């Protein structure tokens, strides 16, 4: 049995205490869930509740969560339906004004909730506040940093591929989530993107400037494994369905359309019957997503033309990125990240990532 009772910092602001509930969906997260909970229990602002929704785990996840010594934790168990269903169960169980989401293999900086709630206090019109994140390997080595830059009405920028956090970065007003109906449980992929687009259609976004979330690469995570061809096909169909549902077609950006065309061609090239599969896909999408299909593939000649143009565009962008990367690396003396990246990613969290996982 493992009991954990972290000492909460004494600077827990009384006006912010309990203002946010934390929802953590988990399935078979025994290796990481204790470290994730520790990062929440160590917040400088105490959450109202930490709602762990177990999505049908078959390992020791439930036992580990139940043995954590904290009155803040509420464990909800469900059959294995999916992360969107689990998050929605957490939303239903929440009673606080704000809801924060955290994946069961990710961590937070101790000041994350405090900083984001301060942004809400200074911008009462915002319904979503996100932050930047650092992606770390389990060893603590840094892979990537994503910094926030979009605020206000960000729908168009999100359509163009703009960054507004992921599921471990956002804090949302509970009323906004209630109004839009939470996560779309019919989606097995891109549910975060769909939620952000849905929120951005109606609500304002803002951000805390710091890197406050830490996404840990987990090779055992279902969402981070290399996808099979069939899975990629399902992902493509759900993406197109999502755009059909969320996006006025006159505003669907060229970049998005070209990306979808490229993915169709990529999947076709992986099949022996690629051309026949493309024709079947086109007929299927003409029935399920007709508005999007008219933009993606109005006829064979236009589709082929856009693919040719996209190939040239992609090659040019790749050459430019290689040149910029080489120049930047030379200026940094060969280091992979800017000088301030390590401080942004926070040494304490790197050490936490290196700590042995609970088993």
pLDDT of residue 303: 84
352, 35 contact by CB (below 8 A): yes
Query: Residue 329 — pLDDT band, cuts 50, 70, 90?
Result: low
pLDDT of residue 213: 95
| C-beta pairs of 304-313 under 8 Å, 24+ apart in sequence | 306/257, 306/258, 306/261, 307/261, 307/262, 307/265, 309/258, 310/258, 310/261, 310/262, 313/258
Region 261-273: what's the mean pLDDT?
86
Q: How far apart are CA 307 and CA 261, in angstroms?
A: 7
Is 158 a residue whose pLDDT tops 60? yes
- pLDDT tens column, 199-229: 999 999 999 999 999 998 765 554 444 457 7
pLDDT over threshold 80, residue 315 = no
Residues 53/23, Cβ–Cβ less than 8 Å? yes
Residue-wise pLDDT for 190-199, tens only, equals 788 889 999 9
Percent of the chain with pLDDT over 90: 43
pTM to 2 decimals?
0.74
pLDDT in tens, 88-118: 999 999 999 999 999 999 999 999 999 999 9
User: How far is Cα 70 from Cα 8, in angstroms, rounded to an integer?
Assistant: 11
Q: What is the mean pLDDT of residues 139-149?
A: 85
> Which of 201-215, 243-257, 296-310, 311-325 has maximum average pLDDT?
201-215
pLDDT value at 343 more than 80: no
Domains and CATH numbers, the chain: 20-224 (3.90.550.10), 229-331 (no CATH)
Residue 85 and residue 20 in contact, taking contact as beta carbons nearer than 8 Å:
no
Top-confidence residue, 254 or 120: 120
- Return the higher-pLDDT residue of 41 and 11: 41
154-158, 212-216, 224-228, 273-277: range with lowest mean pLDDT:
224-228
Q: Tell me the mean pLDDT in the region 132-143.
A: 85
Query: CA 107 to CA 109: how far, in whole Å?
Result: 7
On the 0-12 / 13-18 / 19+ scale of CB atoms within 10 A, 237 is middle
- Average pLDDT for residues 154-172, to the nearest whole number? 88
């Amino acid at each position: 049995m493992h009991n954990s009772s972290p000492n909460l910092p004494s600077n827990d602001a009384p006006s912010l205490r309990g203002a946010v509930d934390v929802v953590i969906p988990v399935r078979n997260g025994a290796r990481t869930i204790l470290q994730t909970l520790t990062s929440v229990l160590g917040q400088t602002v105490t959450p109202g509740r930490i709602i762990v929704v177990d999505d049908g785990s078959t390992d020791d996840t439930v036992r580990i969560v139940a043995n954590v010594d904290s009155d803040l934790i509420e464990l909800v168990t469900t059959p294995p339906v999916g992360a969107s269903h689990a998050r929605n169960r957490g939303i239903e169980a929440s009673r606080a004004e704000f809801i924060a989401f955290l994946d069961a293999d990710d961590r937070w900086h101790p000041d994350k909730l405090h900083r984001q709630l301060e942004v809400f206090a200074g911008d009462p019109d915002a319904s979503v506040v996100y932050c930047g994140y650092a992606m770390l390997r389990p060893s603590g080595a840094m892979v990537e940093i994503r910094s926030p830059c979009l605020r206000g009405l960000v729908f168009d920028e999100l359509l163009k591929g703009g960054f507004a956090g992921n599921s471990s970065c956002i804090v949302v007003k509970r009323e906004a989530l209630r109004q839009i109906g939470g996560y779309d449980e019919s989606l097995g992929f891109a549910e975060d993107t769909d939620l952000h687009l849905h929120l951005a259609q109606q609500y304002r976004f803002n951000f805390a400037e710091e890197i406050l979330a830490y996404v840990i690469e987990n090779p055992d995570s279902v969402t981070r494994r290399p996808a099979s061809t069939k899975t990629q096909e399902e992902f493509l169909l759900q993406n197109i369905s999502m755009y059909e549902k969320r996006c006025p077609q006159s505003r669907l950006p060229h970049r998005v359309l070209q990306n979808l065309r490229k993915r169709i061609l990529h999947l076709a090239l992986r099949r022996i019957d690629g051309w026949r599969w493309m024709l079947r896909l086109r007929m299927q999408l003409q029935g399920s997503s007709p508005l999007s299909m008219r933009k993606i593939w109005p006829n064979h000649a236009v589709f082929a033309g856009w693919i040719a143009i996209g190939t040239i565009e992609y090659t040019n962008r790749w050459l430019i990125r290689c040149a910029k990367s080489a120049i930047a690396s030379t200026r940094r003396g060969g280091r992979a990240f800017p000088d301030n990246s390590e401080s942004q990613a926070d040494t304490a969290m790197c050490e936490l990532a290196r700590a042995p996982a609970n088993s």
